[in-house]
């Protein structure tokens, strides 16, 4: 099975994250697609990042990572926001959601002693 790194735009760090989420090779990634792969990354604890999301889409289309523009980028942003809301934003206050949306990492809550 071809390694994940054989796909354009997939480097060692992204490949390691995908493997940690159970996506072991390029054929599996291509079979499940960018949305399902990104959902697995989020479910595995990856921090949501829009650029990483659309780079994954571009990678599976064999396009340069920065080729995403205009209406296509806007549509992918809507899909990303939906995935992020489903996997990352539940149980957060409106303020926490806004801070997360602009990229501020929410503080980790300590369990009561």
Domain ranges of the chain: 4-101
**pLDDT tens-digit series, residues 39-92:** 999 888 888 999 999 999 999 999 999 999 999 999 999 999 988 888 876 666
**Which of 19, 56, 76 has its CA nearest to residue 84?**
76
Question: Which three-class secondary structure state does DSSP give residue 26?
Answer: helix
* Higher-scoring residue by pLDDT: 112, 80: 80
pLDDT at 8: 93
* Higher-scoring residue by pLDDT: 90, 5: 5
Distance CA 73, CA 30 (A): 20
* Higher-scoring residue by pLDDT: 89, 21: 21
Q: Whole-number mean pLDDT of the chain?
A: 86
Supply the pTM of this predicted model. 0.75
CA dist 89 → 16, 18, 46, 95 (Å): 24, 21, 13, 11
Of all residues in the chain, the percent with pLDDT exceeding 70 is 82
The CATH classification of domain 4-101, taken from the options 1.10.3720.10, 3.40.1710.10, 1.10.150.20, 3.20.20.70: 1.10.150.20
């Amino acid at each position: 099975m071809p390694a994940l790194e054989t796909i354009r735009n997939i480097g060692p760090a992204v490949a390691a994250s995908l493997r940690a989420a159970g996506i072991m090779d390029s054929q599996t990634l291509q079979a499940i697609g960018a949305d399902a792969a990104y959902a697995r990354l989020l479910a595995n604890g990856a921090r949501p990042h829009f650029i990483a999301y659309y780079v994954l889409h571009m990678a599976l289309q064999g396009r340069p990572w920065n080729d995403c523009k205009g209406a296509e980028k806007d549509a992918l942003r809507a899909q990303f926001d939906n995935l992020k809301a489903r996997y990352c934003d539940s149980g957060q206050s409106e303020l926490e959601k806004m801070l997360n949306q602009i990229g501020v990492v929410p503080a980790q809550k300590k369990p009561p002693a």
